[in-house]
Amino acid sequence: MKPEISKDIIRGHTTSIILNVLSQGDSYGYEIAKAVQQLSNNAYELSEATLYTAFRRMEKNGDIESYWGDESQGGRRKYYRVTEQGQQLLAKDIADWRFAKDIIDDLITGRIDENGHD
Protein backbone atom coordinates (compact mmCIF):
# COMPACT_ATOMS: atom_id res chain seq x y z
CA MET A 1 0.00 0.00 0.00
CA LYS A 2 1.39 3.37 -1.04
CA PRO A 3 1.33 5.98 1.76
CA GLU A 4 -0.72 9.09 1.13
CA ILE A 5 -1.33 12.39 2.87
CA SER A 6 -4.79 13.06 4.23
CA LYS A 7 -6.36 16.12 2.60
CA ASP A 8 -8.05 16.81 5.96
CA ILE A 9 -4.69 17.01 7.73
CA ILE A 10 -3.28 19.44 5.17
CA ARG A 11 -6.44 21.54 5.00
CA GLY A 12 -5.83 22.68 8.57
CA HIS A 13 -2.39 23.96 7.56
CA THR A 14 -3.23 25.91 4.39
CA THR A 15 -2.45 29.24 6.06
CA SER A 16 0.92 27.99 7.33
CA ILE A 17 1.81 26.55 3.91
CA ILE A 18 1.04 29.86 2.17
CA LEU A 19 2.91 31.84 4.84
CA ASN A 20 5.94 29.57 4.41
CA VAL A 21 6.01 30.20 0.65
CA LEU A 22 5.48 33.96 1.04
CA SER A 23 8.11 34.23 3.79
CA GLN A 24 10.60 33.27 1.07
CA GLY A 25 9.51 36.14 -1.18
CA ASP A 26 6.46 37.94 -2.56
CA SER A 27 4.49 35.84 -5.03
CA TYR A 28 1.20 35.44 -6.89
CA GLY A 29 -1.43 32.68 -6.95
CA TYR A 30 -0.20 30.44 -9.75
CA GLU A 31 3.42 30.65 -8.58
CA ILE A 32 2.37 29.79 -5.01
CA ALA A 33 0.36 26.79 -6.23
CA LYS A 34 3.42 25.59 -8.19
CA ALA A 35 5.64 26.04 -5.11
CA VAL A 36 3.25 23.95 -2.99
CA GLN A 37 3.32 21.18 -5.58
CA GLN A 38 7.12 21.33 -5.70
CA LEU A 39 7.53 21.39 -1.89
CA SER A 40 5.28 18.32 -1.61
CA ASN A 41 7.14 16.44 -4.36
CA ASN A 42 3.88 16.42 -6.34
CA ALA A 43 2.03 14.67 -3.50
CA TYR A 44 -0.29 17.63 -2.84
CA GLU A 45 -1.96 20.34 -4.88
CA LEU A 46 -3.70 23.45 -3.57
CA SER A 47 -6.72 24.22 -5.73
CA GLU A 48 -7.18 27.74 -7.03
CA ALA A 49 -10.45 28.06 -5.10
CA THR A 50 -8.77 27.04 -1.82
CA LEU A 51 -5.85 29.36 -2.49
CA TYR A 52 -7.93 32.45 -3.23
CA THR A 53 -10.31 31.79 -0.34
CA ALA A 54 -7.26 31.57 1.94
CA PHE A 55 -5.77 34.77 0.45
CA ARG A 56 -8.98 36.70 1.21
CA ARG A 57 -9.17 35.36 4.77
CA MET A 58 -5.46 35.94 5.45
CA GLU A 59 -5.55 39.47 4.05
CA LYS A 60 -8.63 40.31 6.14
CA ASN A 61 -6.82 38.95 9.23
CA GLY A 62 -3.72 41.05 8.47
CA ASP A 63 -1.36 38.11 7.86
CA ILE A 64 -0.66 39.06 4.24
CA GLU A 65 -0.99 42.13 2.02
CA SER A 66 -1.61 42.29 -1.70
CA TYR A 67 -0.47 44.68 -4.41
CA TRP A 68 -0.60 44.81 -8.18
CA GLY A 69 2.58 44.01 -10.07
CA ASP A 70 3.61 45.99 -13.11
CA GLU A 71 2.46 44.88 -16.55
CA SER A 72 5.94 44.34 -18.01
CA GLN A 73 5.66 40.54 -17.60
CA GLY A 74 2.40 40.35 -19.55
CA GLY A 75 -0.89 40.50 -17.65
CA ARG A 76 -1.19 42.44 -14.44
CA ARG A 77 -0.80 40.09 -11.49
CA LYS A 78 -1.88 40.48 -7.89
CA TYR A 79 1.09 39.75 -5.64
CA TYR A 80 1.00 38.82 -1.99
CA ARG A 81 3.51 39.54 0.75
CA VAL A 82 3.65 38.32 4.33
CA THR A 83 3.24 40.94 7.07
CA GLU A 84 5.08 41.09 10.39
CA GLN A 85 1.96 39.59 12.00
CA GLY A 86 2.03 36.81 9.39
CA GLN A 87 5.70 36.07 10.18
CA GLN A 88 4.80 35.75 13.88
CA LEU A 89 1.86 33.48 13.05
CA LEU A 90 4.11 31.26 10.91
CA ALA A 91 6.65 30.95 13.76
CA LYS A 92 3.84 29.97 16.16
CA ASP A 93 2.36 27.53 13.63
CA ILE A 94 5.76 25.86 13.16
CA ALA A 95 6.25 25.49 16.93
CA ASP A 96 2.69 24.16 17.34
CA TRP A 97 3.21 21.71 14.46
CA ARG A 98 6.47 20.34 15.89
CA PHE A 99 4.81 19.87 19.28
CA ALA A 100 1.73 18.16 17.78
CA LYS A 101 3.84 16.01 15.43
CA ASP A 102 5.87 14.63 18.36
CA ILE A 103 2.74 13.85 20.38
CA ILE A 104 0.93 12.22 17.46
CA ASP A 105 4.04 10.18 16.68
CA ASP A 106 4.11 8.96 20.30
CA LEU A 107 0.38 8.23 20.26
CA ILE A 108 0.34 6.16 17.08
CA THR A 109 3.74 4.43 17.32
CA GLY A 110 4.63 4.49 21.03
CA ARG A 111 4.76 1.30 23.08
CA ILE A 112 3.37 1.07 26.62
CA ASP A 113 5.60 -0.62 29.17
CA GLU A 114 4.37 -2.73 32.11
CA ASN A 115 4.26 0.33 34.41
CA GLY A 116 1.78 2.09 32.13
CA HIS A 117 4.40 4.46 30.74
CA ASP A 118 6.00 4.36 27.33
Handedness of CA 65, 70, 73, 78 (dihedral sign): positive
Percentage with pLDDT > 90 across the chain: 75
Residue 86 one-letter amino acid? G
pLDDT classification of 10: cutoffs 50, 70, 90: confident
Q: What is the pLDDT of residue 58?
A: 98
pLDDT classification of 7: cutoffs 50, 70, 90: confident
Alpha carbon distance 24, 22 (integer Å): 5
Q: pLDDT by residue (tens digit) across 43-99?
A: 899 998 999 999 999 999 999 999 998 876 667 899 999 999 999 999 999 999 999
Q: Which run of H or E residues covers position 92? A: helix 84-109
Query: Which CATH number does the domain 7-109 belong to among 3.40.50.1170, 3.30.830.10, 3.40.50.720, 1.10.10.10?
Result: 1.10.10.10
| Cβ contacts of 81 within 8 Å, gap of 6 or more | 22, 26, 64, 65, 66, 67
Alpha carbon distance 23, 63 (integer Å): 11
Name the residue ranges covered by the structural domains of the chain. 7-109
